[in-house]
């Protein structure tokens, strides 16, 4: 039995939640989809899915097989699409991302993208909320996160470090904290998306979780940066956003011996099947430019 098709059926079953939905998406019968899933389990030599009347979940073997299946399908589609990829990508793509990422990272690289792909137009949607790719008709979503659902189709673009920092005037007024515990009685401003008011800090083999309080919490990372520059409080900011202001002395690093837990930047998209050349061009360009940037180690 065709292992590439079996891998596609397995991926679609996981992403859509049932073999019936996978069969419909792939244009085959429910019985055929079930045979492909059985073939996958025979190939792996283990049960891949735990099924009940209302729920389906991946087994440990299934989690590993899912990652391998995605790689297999991506390689196969790359081979079959080589001739199509020689054509110049064209058309409009909708891309969503947080404003702080758009401002500091993506906008500066779009001139090069436009020069390389002059027939591609980008509809840039700036938002910090989690985007529903299908409902919001988004082709690519750039997301910074500490964890990613295994069912999501994504390419990792790089690691996102963070830094604790504050305006010099604020530190002159409240004093610079020398230990993580000292943050508890300093004004801190927090980002609602990641752990809110609990900060995880790492130094060598030590990890500290500090509950912080302060005058402001926001769900918009760009506003967090602006608030830090205004001296409202100590903030945990992405290194890529804080670095220019640290270099100019507008912000000062706090607790330089302690590192916030690292996150990752991903490009999320709805499906690998028949990925438009314009969408693929943006993803590949992002891998090249962002993945090659030392800030995203």
pLDDT confidence of residue 247: 97
pLDDT at 79 over 90: no
Q: Which residues pair with 57 in a beta bridge?
A: 50
Q: Return mean pLDDT, the chain.
A: 89
Q: Give per-residue pLDDT as tens, 66-75.
A: 989 988 888 8
DSSP line for 220-274 = -HHHHHHHHHTTS-EEEEEHHHHHHHHHTTSSEES-TT-EEPPEEEEEE-S-STT
**Residues contacting 96, CB < 8 A, separation 6+:** 124, 125, 126, 127, 131, 136, 138, 140, 141, 142
pLDDT confidence of residue 134: 75
Q: Give per-residue pLDDT as tens, 151-164.
A: 678 899 999 999 99
pLDDT at 281 over 70: yes
Helices (H), the chain: 3-16, 19-26, 30-44, 60-80, 82-85, 99-101, 107-116, 168-174, 221-229, 239-247, 277-291
Domains of the chain, first to last:
3-80 (1.10.10.10), 86-146+273-288 (3.40.190.10), 162-261 (3.40.190.290)
Instruction: Give the torsion through C-alpha atoms of 65, 66, 69, 73, to 10 deg.
Output: 180
pLDDT at 195 over 70: no
Q: Give per-residue pLDDT as tens, 215-274.
A: 999 999 899 999 999 999 999 999 999 999 999 999 999 999 999 989 999 999 877 766
- As a whole number, mean pLDDT of residues 26-50 equals 88
Token readout for 30 is: 């429910």
Cα gap 271→152, rounded to integer Å: 9
Which band of pLDDT confidence, cut at 50, 70 and 90, is reported for residue 167? very high
Cα gap 259→60, rounded to integer Å: 32
Which band of pLDDT confidence, cut at 50, 70 and 90, is reported for residue 171? very high
- As a whole number, mean pLDDT of residues 187-210 equals 88
Token readout for 95 is: 């891309």
Nearest C-alpha neighbor of 171 from the set 238, 100, 255: 255
Place of tokens 């919001």: 136
Going from the C-alpha of 170 to that of each of 91, 151, 164, the distances in angstroms are 48, 44, 13
Cα gap 239→147, rounded to integer Å: 19
Query: Helix, strand, or coil here: 280?
Result: helix
pLDDT confidence of residue 16: 85
Q: What are phi and psi of 164, to 5 degrees?
A: -85, 130
Cα gap 156→159, rounded to integer Å: 8
Give the percent of the chain with pLDDT over 70: 93
- As a whole number, mean pLDDT of residues 188-208 equals 87
Going from the C-alpha of 259 to that of each of 8, 142, 144, the distances in angstroms are 40, 23, 17
Which band of pLDDT confidence, cut at 50, 70 and 90, is reported for residue 81? low
pTM of the predicted model as reported, rounded to 2 decimal places: 0.69
| Chain centre distance of CA 147 | 8
């Amino acid at each position: 039995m065709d292992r590439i098709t079996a891998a596609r059926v397995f991926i679609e079953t996981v992403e859509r939640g049932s073999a019936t939905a996978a069969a419909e998406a792939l244009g085959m019968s429910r019985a055929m989809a079930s045979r492909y899933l059985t073939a996958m389990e025979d190939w792996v030599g283990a049960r891949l899915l735990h099924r009940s009347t209302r729920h389906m979940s991946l087994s440990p073997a299934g989690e590993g097989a899912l990652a391998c299946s995605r790689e297999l399908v991506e390689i196969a589609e790359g081979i079959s699409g080589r001739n199509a990829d020689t054509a110049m990508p064209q058309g409009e793509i909708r891309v969503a991302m947080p404003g702080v990422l758009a401002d500091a990272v993506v906008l500066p690289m779009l001139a090069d993208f436009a020069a390389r792909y002059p027939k591609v137009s980008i509809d840039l949607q700036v938002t910090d909320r989690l985007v529903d790719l299908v409902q919001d008709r988004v082709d690519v979503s750039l997301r910074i996160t500490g964890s990613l659902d295994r069912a999501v189709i994504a390419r990792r673009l790089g690691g996102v470090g963070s830094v604790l920092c504050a305006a010099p005037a604020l530190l002159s007024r409240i004093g610079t904290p020398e230990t993580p515990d000292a943050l508890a009685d300093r004004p801190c401003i927090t980002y609602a998306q990641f752990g809110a008011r609990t900060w995880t800090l790492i130094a060598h083999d030590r990890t500290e979780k500090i509950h912080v309080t302060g005058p402001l919490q926001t769900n918009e990372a760009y506003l967090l940066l602006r608030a830090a520059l205004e001296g409202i409080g100590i903030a945990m900011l992405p290194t890529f956003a804080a670095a220019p202001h640290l270099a100019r002395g507008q912000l000062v690093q706090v607790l330089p011996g302690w590192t916030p837990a690292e996150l990752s930047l991903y490009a999320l998209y709805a499906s690998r099947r028949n990925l438009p050349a314009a969408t693929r061009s943006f993803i590949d360009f992002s891998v090249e430019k962002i993945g090659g940037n030392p800030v995203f180690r």
